[in-house]
């Protein structure tokens, strides 16, 4: 019984963080509905949807990294969150890229005009910057014990091992991920989203210990993996 009073604040803080992320998803979903109804020009429509998608991805990723860092020795709960929010992003961000690499790849393959690509890239950049300021402002409110004004979002290098080992892990995980995407082309959409979410969760866990623990768990849960979900849910044929 004595452990319950100490456990309750942690559960409350976790629920607060989850509620914050789900609120962001709901507000961004509302914004997408309004954008589709009010914005009829293709460039303005693309800018708005890309902005909202990137904002959702960045804010949720910042908060998940914060949650995952609290109990890194027991990653089960963090992996569960990765799977759940992979499903959420895959279902809600259909039709957007959320990733500069994806946009540039479509441009190079002729699937997107340079003008549209420039609009999407600028939207992603502005949205990523806005998400940093928004998350910082939310953390300054002190909604949980993990949120405090001294916490910063400075860019840092997640690699704490030899560069060749990091490259090997990156190459292996990327090869597995994109090979699986090719195999999922003919899978039904409802099943494909779960398979991709499970694959992202697997890679996040496997990358933690292969070949050594050179990456933080949530650093593998990045926009390159997440942004692949909506594109392949919408169009199973790789670009």
Convert the pLDDT of each residue in 186-234 to its tens digit. 788 778 888 888 888 888 777 655 543 433 444 444 444 444 454 444 4
pLDDT, averaged across the chain: 77
Q: Is residue 235 part of a domain?
A: no
Q: What is the CATH number of the domain that holds 122?
A: 1.20.1080
Q: Is residue 28 part of a domain?
A: yes
Please give the radius of gyration of the chain, using alpha carbons only, rounded to the nearest integer: 18
86 versus 8: the higher-pLDDT residue is 86
123 versus 65: the higher-pLDDT residue is 123
Q: Is residue 12 part of a domain?
A: yes
Q: Is residue 237 part of a domain?
A: no
How much is the average pLDDT of 15-42? 91
Q: Is the pTM of this model over 0.75?
A: yes
The pLDDT score that the predictor gives to residue 236 is: 41
The pLDDT score that the predictor gives to residue 92 is: 85
141 versus 48: the higher-pLDDT residue is 48
Q: Are 203 and 215 in contact (CB under 8 A)?
A: no
Long-range contacts of 32-36 (CB under 8 A, 24+ apart): 32/92
7-21, 37-51, 81-95, 225-239: the lowest-pLDDT one: 225-239
Burial of 168 (0-12, 13-18, 19+ CB in 10 A): middle
73-87, 133-147, 158-172, 182-196: the lowest-pLDDT one: 158-172
Q: Is residue 238 part of a domain?
A: no
Query: How far is residue 35's CA from residue 212's CA, in Å, rounded to a whole number?
Result: 45
Return the C-alpha torsion angle 227, 165, 63, 76, nearest 10.
100
**Residue 27 predicted with pLDDT over 90:** yes
**Residue 28 predicted with pLDDT over 90:** yes
Between helices 114-140 and 100-108, what is the axis angle to 10°?
A: 180
Return the C-alpha torsion angle 75, 78, 84, 89, nearest 10.
-130
Q: Is residue 221 part of a domain?
A: yes
Q: Is residue 64 part of a domain?
A: yes
Domain count, the chain: 1
The pLDDT score that the predictor gives to residue 67 is: 79
The pLDDT score that the predictor gives to residue 165 is: 76
Enclosing domain of residue 76? 8-230
Cβ-proximal residues to 80 (8 Å cutoff; 6+ apart), any chain: none
Ramachandran class of 109: left when φ > 0, alpha when ψ lies in -120 to 50, beta otherwise: alpha
**Residue 182 predicted with pLDDT over 70:** yes
**Residue 146 predicted with pLDDT over 80:** no
Q: Is residue 2 part of a domain?
A: no
């Amino acid at each position: 019984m004595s452990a319950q009073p100490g456990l309750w604040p942690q559960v409350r803080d976790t629920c607060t963080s989850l509620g914050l992320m789900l609120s962001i998803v709901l507000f961004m979903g509302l914004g997408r509905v309004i954008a589709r109804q009010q914005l009829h020009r293709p460039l303005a429509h693309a800018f708005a949807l890309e902005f909202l998608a990137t904002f959702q991805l960045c804010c949720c990723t910042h908060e998940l990294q914060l949650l995952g860092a609290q109990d890194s020795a027991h990653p089960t709960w963090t992996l569960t969150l990765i799977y759940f929010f992979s499903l959420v992003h895959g279902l809600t961000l259909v039709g957007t890229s959320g990733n500069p690499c994806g946009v540039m790849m479509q441009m190079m393959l002729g699937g997107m005009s340079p003008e549209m690509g420039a609009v999407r890239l600028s939207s992603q950049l502005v949205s990523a910057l806005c998400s940093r300021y928004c998350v910082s402002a939310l953390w300054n409110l002190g909604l949980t014990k993990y949120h405090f004004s001294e916490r910063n979002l400075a860019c840092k290098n997640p690699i704490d091992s030899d560069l060749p080992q990091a490259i090997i892990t990156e190459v292996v995980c990327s090869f597995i991920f994109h090979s699986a995407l090719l195999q999922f082309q003919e899978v039904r959409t409802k099943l494909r989203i779960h398979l991709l979410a499970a694959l992202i969760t697997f890679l996040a866990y496997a990358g933690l210990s292969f070949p050594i623990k050179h990456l933080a768990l949530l650093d593998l849960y990045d926009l390159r993996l997440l942004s692949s979900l909506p594109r392949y849910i919408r169009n199973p044929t790789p670009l």
